Amino acid sequence: MQVTFLGTSSGVPTRGRNVSAVALRLPQRSELWLFDCGEGTQHQFLRSDLRVSQLRRIFITHMHGDHVFGLPGLLASLGLAGACPGIDLYGPDPLRDYLEGVLHTSSTRIGYPLRSHKVRQAASTGAVLLDDDDLQVRCAPLTHRVPAYAYRVDQKPRPGRFDIARARELGIPPGPVYAELKTGRTVTLDDGRIINGASLTGQPRPGASVVYCTDTVFCEAAVTLAQGADLLIHESTFSHGEAELAIARQHSTSTMAAQTALAAGVKQLVLTHLSPRYMPGNTITPDDLVAEASAIFANTIVARDFLSIDVIPPDNDAAPLTSE
């Protein structure tokens, strides 16, 4: 999985940061999933290497404008392109009514299937929101001024490593049969031998996991959802010195994000949703937020627009790779 930040500012865009949007690229299935869609997100797609034609699912955390104002325009553009097979939309209860109102009053026609899914019940009960052959999505309620939800994407366990050397020792000819054996299936060879693929594969390997958590003040639900995740993307709207303001507005400070990461035992923390007051050149900068968070959780970086992170499964010793 690869995460690309398309917007990392809170409230309003700045010259260097657009408002909230994060894309999750799934190369194994040529799909994109989008988390939040602030104003100008489709322009950010155009400035990136991502292909909006691969967009299949959109997850909205809450109904504040800096997270949803870009959604009607993006959906309308997908319709004009004429090749969209359909979009699944997940979010708070009012999301569908909001979209229907905007699209109706602007006489915008969506010429592809647009399927909406309310997440409130799954978030309140802990039920799985989405489950398919490769991925599972869960969500949790956050603590904000309006109903808000965090999302977690888990890649399902992958087959164990296939022992090619052992297969060759057994005289199993390379070819399509290897693909069958890699899945653990039992196959019959041309010479009549029956080979159990499970005997040639190691233990199943855990997949990668990503958690997206914004907007919220520190809350236990986020800690529970993020347990053991490879990557936690967490809002850091305020610095530690403005904790009282953060609590009043029900947003997180850099240290609250770090405390969530530490309590959840995640592998890496990425700070996003930064207040425009922390632009470079001001008294407090994004580097200061990273320093505050790193004092609690060392493996912390700050997001910037178009930063990409390859999320490495736990059995890989390499550090996550970042690129422009």
pLDDT (tens digit, 9 = 90+) per residue, 245-293?
999 999 999 999 999 999 999 999 999 999 999 988 889 999 999 999 9
In this structure, are residues 294 and 252 in contact, taking their beta carbons and an 8 Å threshold? no
Confidence of residue 315 (pLDDT cuts 50, 70, 90): low
Mean pLDDT of 155-180: 85
At 165 the pLDDT is 87
Instruction: Quote the tokens at residue 5.
Output: 């930040």
Confidence of residue 205 (pLDDT cuts 50, 70, 90): confident
Q: Strands, DSSP E only, in 186-304? A: 186-188, 194-196, 209-213, 231-235, 268-272, 300-302
In sequence order, the β-bridge partners of residue 155 are 135
In this structure, are residues 47 and 72 in contact, taking their beta carbons and an 8 Å threshold? no
Instruction: Quote the tokens at residue 176.
Output: 């399509």
Confidence of residue 296 (pLDDT cuts 50, 70, 90): very high
The fold of the 2-158+205-323 domain, in CATH, is Metallo-beta-lactamase; Chain A (3.60.15)
Mean pLDDT of 227-253: 97
Rounded Cα distance between 19 and 32, Å, is 19
Residue spans of the domains in the chain: they are: 2-158+205-323, 164-200
| Burial category of 56 from C-beta neighbours within 10 Å (exposed 0-12, middle 13-18, buried 19 and up) | middle
pLDDT of residue 74 exceeding 80: yes
Confidence of residue 29 (pLDDT cuts 50, 70, 90): confident
| Burial category of 268 from C-beta neighbours within 10 Å (exposed 0-12, middle 13-18, buried 19 and up) | buried
Q: What angle do CA 119, 123, 125 make, to 5 degrees?
A: 120
Instruction: Quote the tokens at residue 258.
Output: 């770090």
At 318 the pLDDT is 43
pLDDT of residue 323 exceeding 50: no
Q: How far is CA 103 from CA 106, 107, 152, in A?
A: 5, 6, 29
Instruction: Quote the tokens at residue 180.
Output: 């069958």
Residues with active-site annotation: 66
Nearest alpha carbon to residue 143 among 122, 123, 128, 116: 123
The mean predicted confidence, pLDDT, of the chain is: 92
Confidence of residue 321 (pLDDT cuts 50, 70, 90): very low
Rounded Cα distance between 146 and 113, Å, is 28
**Cis (ω within 30 of 0) for the bond into 215?**
yes
Helix or strand (DSSP H, E) at 138: strand 135-141
Mean pLDDT of 219-242: 97
What's the distance, CA 167 to chain centroid? 38
pLDDT of residue 223 exceeding 50: yes
In this structure, are residues 5 and 44 in contact, taking their beta carbons and an 8 Å threshold? no
pLDDT of residue 158 exceeding 80: no
For residue 181, which phi and psi values (nearest 5 degrees)?
Answer: -65, -35
Rounded Cα distance between 30 and 10, Å, is 30
Confidence of residue 112 (pLDDT cuts 50, 70, 90): very high
At 176 the pLDDT is 85
At 259 the pLDDT is 98
Percentage of the chain modeled with pLDDT above 70: 97
At 69 the pLDDT is 98
Q: Which amino acid is at 77?
A: S
For residue 247, which phi and psi values (nearest 5 degrees)?
Answer: -65, -40
At 83 the pLDDT is 78
